[in-house]
Amino acid sequence: MAEDTGDGSTAEMDDYETLMSTTDAELLKTAWRNEKAAPEILQFQAPLVKRAKEQIQLMEETVEEYEESGMDPLTVSLYQMDLDRAHFLLRSYLRVRLQKLEKYMFYIWKNESLWSRLSDPEKMFVQRCIDDMEKHLEETVLSKLPDNYQSVRRQSVISEEDDMVPEPQLDTFIACKARNRFVSLRLADSERPLEMERHDVSFVLYKVIEDKIGADIDLV
């Protein structure tokens, strides 16, 4: 929630805020931001998404009840706004993932560890995407090419690996902040660790913080 105001008394507030900022809406916002900023697909936040869906459904029913019971229209509209915001977050989160899946479907499909980060519906989606894409390319182009050039994934039969599969650029830099008060990062090419306070924004190589996203570090 509220960030440090720079008046010196923020350290205790930070801890308090960390404790308080654990509403699912806040967690979902963080998950959305992380997913949006990361170059590759991250672990699907299954329990969080499930809880968010339940809360949204519950709130939809509540709003409906309020409307029928003739509650003060102002209050109803405020609940509706809260609901809209939660809706937006959930949709954006799922949508960012779909965009990545569409873009890197072949790459994700053949990489076991990435594949395991997907939810079941997402796996189905990728599978169908691949089928459709292959069928489409087959019919429009590949079937008309010489035999050696008919693979969707390889340039020709002499290619030793899949060299036509779009891959995310992982040697990239992302902007991040420490979730709690202090994080120390080991950089591959430096003896001194990178020390981050809560008010620091760092641009760091993605691979360095990859396994800390959502735990010690959040992307911004």
Partner 1 sequence: MAGQSDPHVSLFSPPEVEFMAEDELVEIVPNMRMDPLNFICGDFGPFYPQIPVKVPLWLAAALKKRGKCTIRPPQWMSIENLTKVLEGEREDRGTFQAVPFHYIEISRLLFDHARDDIPDIYMVRSLIEDIRDVRLHKVETNLEKFSATSAVKIAHLSAMEVNVVRPFVVRALQAFYKHDNPVLMVDLDSVSDRQSHVTRQRQMPNNAQKQPLKRR
The 3-state DSSP class for residue 114 equals helix
> H-helix or E-strand containing 185?
strand 182-185
The residues, ordered by sequence, that sit 6+ positions from 134 with a Cβ below 8 Å of its Cβ are 152
Q: Is 134 in the site for partner 1 (CB under 8 A)?
A: no
Determine the interface stretch with partner 1 among 5-13, 42-50, 120-128, 138-146 (rule: CB under 8 A): 5-13
Return d(Cα 31, Cα 93) in angstroms, integer.
Answer: 7
Are 155 and 164 within 8 A, CB to CB?
Answer: yes
Q: Is 105 in the site for partner 1 (CB under 8 A)?
A: no
Q: Is 39 in the site for partner 1 (CB under 8 A)?
A: yes
Contact with partner 1 (CB under 8 A) among 11, 46, 141, 201: 201
Number of shown-chain residues binding partner 1 (CB under 8 A): 66
Tokens of 150: 């008919």
Q: Is 1 in the site for partner 1 (CB under 8 A)?
A: yes
Q: Is 29 in the site for partner 1 (CB under 8 A)?
A: yes
Helices 24-37 and 46-68 cross at an angle (nearest 10°) of 130
Binding region for partner 1 (CB under 8 A): 1-7, 23-26, 29, 33, 36-39, 52, 55-56, 59, 72, 74-75, 77-79, 81-83, 85-86, 88, 99-100, 103, 163-169, 171-175, 185, 187-190, 192, 194, 196-197, 199-205, 208, 220
